[in-house]
Amino acid sequence: MMSAETHETIQDQLLRHEGLRRFPYKDSAGKWTIGVGRNLDEVGITKNEALYLLDNDLGRVRAELDQALPWWRELDLIRQQVMIDLGFNLGVLTPPETAKLLTFTHTLDLIKSGRYAAAAENLTKTKWHSDVGVRALELEAMLRMPVET
C-alpha cells in the first residue's frame, strides 16, 4: 500500500511531467487528453467522475442563476428544475461568449411573472426548441404543469 507521502510525491512528479491542462488537447500521440495526462480516447472517465463533474456544473449553474436572475429561487420546484436545465444547456454566464439563457428575455420575463404556459409557447418558437428535440418538449411540458399550492 502506498503511503500518503509517496502518493503526494508521485502526484507532484506526474504534475511536473504531464502538466495540468483544464481543457482537452491532443497529446503527442494525437490522443484527446485532459487533466494530468488522462487519455480520453482510450480511458475516458468513470461514471463517478462524470457525476462529480455534473455536481460541480450544477453548483455553478445555480450560482450563476442566483447572480443573474435571483428571482428564480422564488419559483416552485418544477420551474426551478426548468431554469437549472435551461441554464445548464444554454449557459447562464459562462462561457460568456456562448452563454445564451439571458438572451431569452421574453421567455424569462414570462417565467418570472408566473405565465408559464406562455413561456412554454414562446420556447416552441425558438431555434433552441428545434435544436434540442425531446428536451424542449419535456421542459415545455414541465412549464405547463399546474402550480401546486
pTM exceeding the 0.85 threshold for the entire prediction: yes
Q: Which three cell numbers mark 138?
A: 419535456
Tell whether 64 and 137 lie within a shared domain.
Answer: yes
* Residue 88 belongs to domain with CATH number: 1.10.530.40
Same domain, 91 and 35: no
Burial classification of residue 54, based on how many CB atoms lie within 10 Å of its CB (0-12 exposed, 13-18 middle, 19 or more buried)? exposed
**For 6-65, what is each residue's pLDDT tens digit?**
778 999 999 999 999 999 999 999 999 999 999 999 999 999 999 999 999 999 999 999
Expressed as residue numbers, the domain containing 8 is 4-39
As for how many domains the chain has, the answer is: 2
Kindly report, residue by residue over 89-137, the tens digit of the pLDDT.
999 999 999 999 999 999 999 999 999 999 999 999 999 999 999 999 9
Instruction: Flag whether 49 is in a domain.
Output: no
